[in-house]
Amino acid sequence: MKLSHRVQGVSDSLTLRLNAQVQEMQKQGLDVVNLSTGEPDFAVSDAAKDAVRKALDLNRSKYTPVSGIPELKERIARRTSLQQPSLTAAVGPWKSADVVVTNGGKQAIYNAMMAILEPGDDVLIPAPFWISYPDMAALAGGHAHRIATQFKNSFKLTPEELRSALDACSQPRLLILNSPNNPTGALYSRDEFAALGEVLQSHPAAREMWILSDEIYDRVILGDQPFCSFLEACPTLRDRVVTVNGMSKSAAMTGWRVGWSVSSGPLTAALSVVQAQSTSGINALAQWASVAALDLPESAFEEQILRYRNRSRLALDILKKAGKLEIVDPKGAFYVFFGVQYYLRPGEGSAAFCERVLKEARVAVVPGDPFGAAGFARLSFATDEKTLELGCQRLVDALKES
């Protein structure tokens, strides 16, 4: 039987598939160090756990409104407004009516693409990128236009690269920005975002474009440079931006599947319609847990952030011993992205390299090809220090022997 053209050429998640492969190897008794998945190893807060118990006692487990319970939407609106003080000062804070709570940040992005894209529309995606962006664009009828960025700029999009991409597109409709970035850990500054905003306001082809700002790693900041929300740098673009975030990375609540989008009225209404006809409202108990987690002060997450910073330094110190890796110094998120070109054997790409490392060194890292960066690989340091040290050392030892 014939399947829809929408699913042809679209694959499942490589990282999830690789993680499943590693878990199967471990079940077979093989000693494999898994540095492939972007899943925090920290426990969920006691406040979130207690909120679920209370919600159960109060029978708060029925269907919820499609766009989320009011208590959660209010907190999301407030948190987003606090991250965008320039916008708040200019036009006022976001309201709960601007929020749609989703099954993870992934659904928020997919909702946006379904609501925005027409068949053949170009989705501008700076590479390296989170691997799901192009496939989601294809499922929504769009065309992923990959924008090559430069290692020397930590793979951050420049105004010149954005202008060139706009010149090359016939139907530019959506630009995706991700800071801190998966897979590179790159973090855009206020000035860098503002410079991109000037292009988006002045270029003729960009005047009808939407911008999706994926800010899922906003709390995982590894150095002195602060996080900057895109709309904090570009408040005049408010009505063309959808901000996406969630609980998975910032509160270690991956399996709870709570994400959200924040956007202006007409788009928010469209996002809610898309969700109403796909999943409807999300898990009630997870929403009450998220209310409690969002009520926690930032100090409640300081230990996690310190651990991430220590882990990033640990990973970098070991990997640099290899000598010839091209390493992107991460400023946010919990990944190290590194070029392995020097270590590739004849006819070998990064995917084959990662397969070889998994087989010979028993350490799992993710190839850069699906991220739009051939010759690179990504490892995650969202794991305990002992495991991270062992995995990084195995990788370096394998490189020295190759």
Residue-level pLDDT at 361: 93
Residue-level pLDDT at 188: 98
Residue 14 confidence (pLDDT) above 70:
no
Residue 176 confidence (pLDDT) above 80:
yes
User: pLDDT, tens digit, for every residue of 69-90?
Assistant: 999 999 999 999 999 999 999 9
Q: Are residues 85 and 184 in the same domain?
A: yes
Q: Is the pTM of this model over 0.85?
A: yes
Residue-level pLDDT at 13: 65
Q: Are residues 223 and 191 in the same domain?
A: yes
Kindly report the number of other CB atoms within 10 A of residue 7's CB atom. Answer: 11
User: pLDDT, tens digit, for every residue of 198-208?
Assistant: 999 999 999 99
Enter the DSSP assignment of 332: B
Q: Are residues 232 and 349 in the same domain?
A: no
Q: Which percentage of the chain shows pLDDT scores above 90?
A: 89
Residue-level pLDDT at 332: 98
Q: Are residues 165 and 223 in the same domain?
A: yes
At 45, the pLDDT band (50, 70, 90 cuts) reads very high
Task: Look at residue 99 and give its three-state secondary structure.
Answer: strand
Rounded Cα distance, 287 and 144, in Å = 33
Domain residues for the domain of 222 are 46-297
Residue 342 confidence (pLDDT) above 80:
yes
Sheet with 335-339, strands from edge to edge, namely: 326-328, 335-339, 376-380, 366-367
Residue-level pLDDT at 10: 73
Residue-level pLDDT at 106: 97
User: pLDDT, tens digit, for every residue of 213-244?
Assistant: 999 999 999 999 999 999 999 999 999 999 99
Q: What total number of domains does the chain contain?
A: 2
Average pLDDT, rounded, for the chain:
95
At 94, the pLDDT band (50, 70, 90 cuts) reads very high
Torsion of CA 350, 353, 355, 357, to 10 degrees: -130
Q: Which percentage of the chain shows pLDDT scores above 70?
A: 98
Residue-level pLDDT at 130: 97
Q: Are residues 144 and 228 in the same domain?
A: yes
Q: Are residues 191 and 222 in the same domain?
A: yes
Q: Are residues 313 and 277 in the same domain?
A: no
Residue-level pLDDT at 282: 96
Structure tokens at 2: 């014939």
Residue 15 confidence (pLDDT) above 70:
no
Question: CA angle, corner 401, sides to 390 and 360, nearest 5?
Answer: 60
Residue-level pLDDT at 265: 87
Choose one of 297, 313, 348: the last residue of a domain: 297
Q: Are residues 23 and 11 in the same domain?
A: yes
Express the helix, strand and coil content of the chain in percent, nearest 5 each: 50, 15, 35
Q: Are residues 219 and 176 in the same domain?
A: yes
Q: Are residues 358 and 219 in the same domain?
A: no
Stated as kind and residue range, the H or E segment containing 285 is: helix 284-295
CATH code for position 212 = 3.40.640.10
User: pLDDT, tens digit, for every residue of 258-287?
Assistant: 999 999 989 999 999 999 999 999 999 999
Residue 181 confidence (pLDDT) above 80:
yes
At 12, the pLDDT band (50, 70, 90 cuts) reads low
Task: Look at residue 368 and give its three-state secondary structure.
Answer: coil
Residue-level pLDDT at 28: 85
Q: Are residues 291 and 322 in the same domain?
A: no
Choose one of 252, 276, 297: the last residue of a domain: 297
